[in-house]
Chain A
Amino acid sequence: MAINDQNAEMSMGGEPKGGPKFDRGHQLSIFVRDRNEDLTALLFAFLIAMSGLMFFG
C-alpha cells in the first residue's frame, strides 16, 4: 500500500482524524490541521537552542 492511498489524515497527537477523501497524488499538505505539530516543532527548536547555549555559549 502506498502512502497516497490512505484516506485518514493523522496528527502528531496520536489519533487519526477523519479527513476528506483525497485524490491520489496531491493530498498530503505539509501543513497539519491542528497545532500539535507546530508545538512539537517549537519544543524541538527550543531544546536545540538551549543545548546550543549550554554547550557552546
Chain B
Amino acid sequence: MIYTKKSPALVIIGILMFLWGWLNASGSIDGLQSALQKSAYSDHTKVNEKFQAELRFANEQAQTEGKPAPELKKPTSKFDKEKAFQTKFGYFFGSVFVLIGLFILTWKAKAGNLDYYISTVPGMALILLIAFVVRWGLDPMFANWGKDVQAAGILSWDFAKIFNLNYVVMGILAGIVIVNVIGIPAWAANGVRTARVFLKTGVILLGTLYSAAELAQLGFLSVVMIGIFVLGSVWLVLLMGRRMKCPNTMTGVLSAGLGVCGVSATVAASPVVQAKAGEIAYTIGTILLWGVGCMFIFPTVGHVLGMGPVQFGAWAGTGILNSAQVAGAALAFDPHGIETLKVAEIFNITRVLFLPIIVLWLAAWFVKHEESAVKVNLAEVLVAKFPLFVLGFIAMFALSSTGVFAPAGHYQGKYFSSAEVKEDKLLKPKEVRALEAELPKARNASETKAMQDLIANRKVMTREEGETLKSVAKIEGFDAVAAGAIANANKAATHDSKIIKNFRDWLAWLFSIGLIGLGMQITVASIKQAGGKPLIIGSVVGTLKAVGSLVVVLMFVKEFV
C-alpha cells in the first residue's frame, strides 16, 4: 500500500512559512508584531531610546574633542530576538517543507519505509503551521485582549487567564474546529497521528521542571494535607468509575485531572491510561468549568465564614483544580495582599509535585485492570505493558532532583543562590543606609540577624533569611527605600536556569504540536460517547474535595504564616 498522497499542500505550507520568515526579516510586519508582543515591544522602544541617547552623547563628546564619531553596537532587545527566532524558524521549516513537497510531487512512490515516513511529513507540517498561528498569533492576542478588557474595567478579572485561553487550550480548540468543520485531508492523515509522539516527549521533559528538594522546602502541613486530598481524590474517582462502569481510560484520565492540577496532569496521564482524545477533552472541559464556578463561589464562602488569608489560601490551593484559577480565587478574596496568593501557590506547587506518584500509580492501576479479565501474573504484565515514557518522566524528575539541570532546590527552573548575585545587583550605599536606619524596627533576633547580614553583605545570604526579610518589609511604618532594597536583594538572589528555560520553550512547542494533533481527533461523536457519567463523578469528587478541604482548613490551619 502506498501512503504518500500526491498533493501540492506541503509546497504551499512551506512557501507560507518561508514568507513569514521573510516578512519578519524585512520588517514589513513590525506593526503587527508590536501589537501582538506588547511588553517585548515596549522594552524594545526603551532599549532603542536609551541607545539613541547614548549615541547622541558619544557623538557630541567626540565632536567637542575633535575625534571621529564612535561606532556603537546597537543592543538586541527581546523583540528583536523574537523576530529573529521567527525568521529562522520560518526559513528553516519553509525550505525543508518546500523541498520535501517537490520531492513528493515528482517521486514515483514505492511501498516501504521511505513511503511511510515521507507520508507523515505533510500532516506534521500542517500541525506545525497551525502551531505557528496559535503560539505566535492567537496566544498573545488573547493574552493582550484579556488584559485590555480588565484594564478598561469591563471585567474585574482577566478572562484569558481564567478560562486558560493559552496555547494549550487553543491548540486543542483549533484541532477540534478543523476536524469538525473541514475534516482532516487525506494527505495529512498519517502526520496527524504522529503528533502523539511529541506529546509523550513533552511529558518526559515535564519531569525536568520539578525537583524533590522543593517538596522538602514546602512545609509539613501543606505536604500532608495536599497528599491526603490528592491521593484521596484519585482513589475516589477510580473507585466511582469502576462502580459506575465507566471505561478505565476515562476514569484514569479523570482521576488525574481531578486529583492533581487540571490540564497538565490530564495531559501527562492521558497516554498512561490510553485515554481517547474525546475523553481528554471532556476531562479538561469538566475541570475548567468546575474551576470557573469555584473561583466565584470560594471567595464568597471565605468572606462569609470570616476566613483569614492563610486559611483561604490553603483552601483555594487544595480545593480548586487549575493553577490559574487558584490564583484568580486568591486575588478575588484578597486583591491587595499577597499573603493569600502566596499560601495558595505553595499549596498548588505541592499538588503538582505529586504528579510523578500519580502517574506511576495510574500506570500500574491501568495495566492491572485492563488485564484482569484474563488472570495473569501482574508483575509480568507490568513489565510487558508498562508505558516506557513514564519511566523517562520519572528519570527526568530524578535527574532534576539531583541538580543536573539546575540547583537541586529549583522549581520550574527558578532557584535561590547568593553566590551568583552579580556585582551590579548588590545593594547601593543609599539602600544600605536606609536599612541601617530601620534596623531598630526588627521584632526579634532572627529578623535583626537577617537585616545585619543583608547590610554587611549587600545581598541576601540564605533563602530563609530572604523569607524573614520579606516579612520585615511589611512592618508598619517601614521605610519605602529599605523595603524596596529588600525586594531588590531577594530578586537579585533568585535566578532562572537557562537550561530549564530552554526546556520550557521546547515543552511549549511539543505540547502545542501534540495537542493540535489531539484536537484533530476529537469529533462531536466522541464527546457524546463519553456520556454523562464522568460529569457526575467529577461533580461528586470536586464537591467532596472542596467541602472536605474547607473542614480540614477550618479545623487545623491557623494564621501562622
Chain B residues with Cβ under 8 A from A31's Cβ? Answer: 196, 271, 274-275, 387
> Looking at A28, A39, A44, A55, which has the most chain B CB atoms within 10 Å of its CB?
A28
11 further A-B contacts with Cβ under 8 Å, apart from A1-B189, A30-B199, A44-B197, are A2-B186, A3-B189, A3-B192, A25-B523, A28-B193, A31-B274, A38-B389, A41-B201, A41-B392, A42-B392, A48-B201
Binds A, one of B426-434, B480-488, B497-505: B497-505
Determine the residue in chain A with the shortest Cβ distance to B117: A14
Inter-chain contact A24/B204, CB cutoff 8 Å: no
- Residues of A20-50 contacting chain B, CB below 8 A: 24-26, 28-32, 35, 37-42, 44-46, 48-49
* Given A30-B276, A45-B201: A39 in contact with B388 (beta carbons within 8 A): yes
Chain A residues with Cβ under 8 A from B278's Cβ? Answer: 25-26
Instruction: Using C-beta atoms within 8 Å of the partner chain, give the interface range for chain A.
Output: 35 or more
Q: What would be 30 A-B contacts, judged by CB atoms less than 8 Å apart?
A: A1-B189, A3-B520, A3-B521, A4-B523, A10-B193, A12-B194, A15-B116, A16-B1, A24-B523, A25-B278, A26-B277, A26-B526, A26-B529, A28-B521, A30-B277, A31-B271, A31-B274, A31-B387, A41-B200, A41-B204, A42-B204, A42-B389, A45-B201, A45-B389, A49-B208, A49-B405, A52-B503, A53-B405, A56-B502, A57-B499
Inter-chain contact B197/A40, CB cutoff 8 Å: yes
Where chain B touches its partner, the secondary structure class is helix
- The answer for the CA separation of A26 and B499 in the assembled complex, in Å, is 38
- The answer for the CA separation of A24 and B184 in the assembled complex, in Å, is 13
Determine the residue in chain A with the shortest Cβ distance to B182: A2
> Looking at A2, A30, A55, A56, which has the most chain B CB atoms within 10 Å of its CB?
A30
> How far in angstroms is the closest Cβ of chain A from B284?
13
> Looking at A26, A38, A45, A48, which has the most chain B CB atoms within 10 Å of its CB?
A45
Chain B residues with Cβ under 8 A from A14's Cβ? Answer: 112-113, 116-117
Inter-chain contact B189/A6, CB cutoff 8 Å: yes
Which 4 residue pairs of A and B lie closest in terms of their CB atoms, listed nearest first? A25-B525, A41-B200, A31-B274, A45-B204
Determine the residue in chain B with the shortest Cβ distance to A36: B197
Determine the residue in chain B with the shortest Cβ distance to A10: B193
- The answer for the CA separation of A38 and B274 in the assembled complex, in Å, is 13
Determine if B190 is an interface residue (Cβ-Cβ < 8 Å).
yes
- Residues of B440-478 contacting chain A, CB below 8 A: none
Determine if B85 is an interface residue (Cβ-Cβ < 8 Å).
no
- The answer for the CA separation of A15 and B204 in the assembled complex, in Å, is 26
Determine the residue in chain B with the shortest Cβ distance to A6: B189
Chain A residues with Cβ under 8 A from B399's Cβ? Answer: 49
Chain A residues with Cβ under 8 A from B204's Cβ? Answer: 41-42, 45
> How far in angstroms is the closest Cβ of chain B from A51?
8
- The answer for the CA separation of A26 and B201 in the assembled complex, in Å, is 23
Inter-chain contact B503/A48, CB cutoff 8 Å: yes
- The answer for the CA separation of A10 and B529 in the assembled complex, in Å, is 24
> How far in angstroms is the closest Cβ of chain A from B258?
20
